């Protein structure tokens, strides 16, 4: 706000001698050509800047971002599908492995069982053979012992008869000992 008097003659009809506006400066038609001229230049410059540089660039940025987002979403979807697939494969492998393990365990169990059965049968047979052998040996020993007992008894009886002053009759002693030991 210029308050000091300027006394400008160039001010014309729009500005008084104090440099203040006369009426509305908006309606000062002396200034119109100047304002319109610079406005047209400004608008042309802005239009060129926007249509040549700014707007295509922003459109490209927005399109690129949209593309990136779409691609990323697709990639994420892809990865998710892959993850699900991998999980399925894993579960399947796990189930397979479990079934295989069960099969192997059952097989091993059957094998062991049959081996065990064989071994038991063999062992039973061996035990039976051994037992029969032992029984035979016992019977032999028992027979041997009986004979030995008779011989010793006969000898002892003969000695006793002799010691008692009798005549040791072999036949009598034998039959007596036999009769005694059989009973």
Partner 1 sequence: MATETTAAEGSSLVFHPMDQFIVKPLFGDGAIAWYTPTNVTLWLFLAIAAIFALLVLSTSKRAIVPTRMQSVAELAYGFIYKMLEDICGKEGVKYFPYVMTLFMFIVCANFLGMLPMSFTTTSHFAVTIPLALAVFLTVTVLGFVKNGASFLGLFWVSSAPLALRPVLAIIELISYFVRPVSHSIRLAGNVMAGHAVIKVFAGFAAIAVISPVSVLAITAMYGLEVLVSFIQAYVFTILTCVYLKDALHPSH
Q: Which residue has the tokens 């069982």?
A: 113
Residue 15 CB, nearest approach to partner 1 (Å): 6
Half-sphere exposure of 118 (CA within 13 A, CB side): 6
- Local structure of 6: helix, strand or coil: coil
Give, as ranges, the residues between 143 and 182 that touch partner 1 (CB under 8 A). Answer: none
- Two tokens at 21? 């506006």
| Residue pair 157/133 in contact by the 8 Å Cβ criterion | no
Residue 29 CB, nearest approach to partner 1 (Å): 8
Distance CA 91, CA 109 (A): 26
**End-to-end CA, the chain:** 164
76 lies in the binding site for partner 1 (CB under 8 A): no
Give, as ranges, the residues between 43 and 72 that touch partner 1 (CB under 8 A). Answer: 43, 45-47, 49-51, 53-55, 57-62, 64-65, 68
| Contacts with partner 1, 27-46, as mask; x by CB under 8 A | xx-xxxxxxxxxxxxxx-xx
96 lies in the binding site for partner 1 (CB under 8 A): no
By the criterion CB under 8 A, which residues form the site for partner 1? Answer: 1-3, 8, 10, 12, 14-16, 18-28, 30-43, 45-47, 49-51, 53-55, 57-62, 64-65, 68
């Amino acid at each position: 706000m210029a308050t000091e008097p300027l006394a400008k003659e160039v001010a014309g009809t729009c500005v008084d001698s104090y440099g203040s506006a006369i009426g509305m400066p908006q309606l000062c038609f002396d200034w119109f050509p100047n304002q319109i001229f610079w406005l047209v230049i400004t608008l042309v410059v802005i239009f060129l800047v926007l249509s040549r540089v700014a707007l295509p660039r922003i459109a490209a940025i927005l399109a690129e971002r949209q593309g990136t987002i779409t691609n990323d979403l697709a990639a994420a979807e892809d990865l998710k599908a892959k993850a699900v697939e991998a999980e399925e494969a894993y579960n399947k492998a796990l189930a397979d492995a479990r079934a295989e393990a069960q099969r192997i365990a059952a097989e091993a169990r059957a094998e062991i069982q049959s081996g065990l059965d064989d071994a038991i049968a063999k062992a039973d047979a061996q035990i039976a053979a051994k037992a029969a052998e032992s029984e035979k040996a016992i019977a032999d020993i028992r027979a041997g012992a009986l004979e030995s007992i008779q011989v010793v008894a006969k000898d002892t009886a003969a000695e006793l008869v002799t010691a008692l002053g009798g005549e040791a009759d072999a036949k009598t002693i034998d039959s007596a000992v036999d009769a005694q030991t059989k009973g």
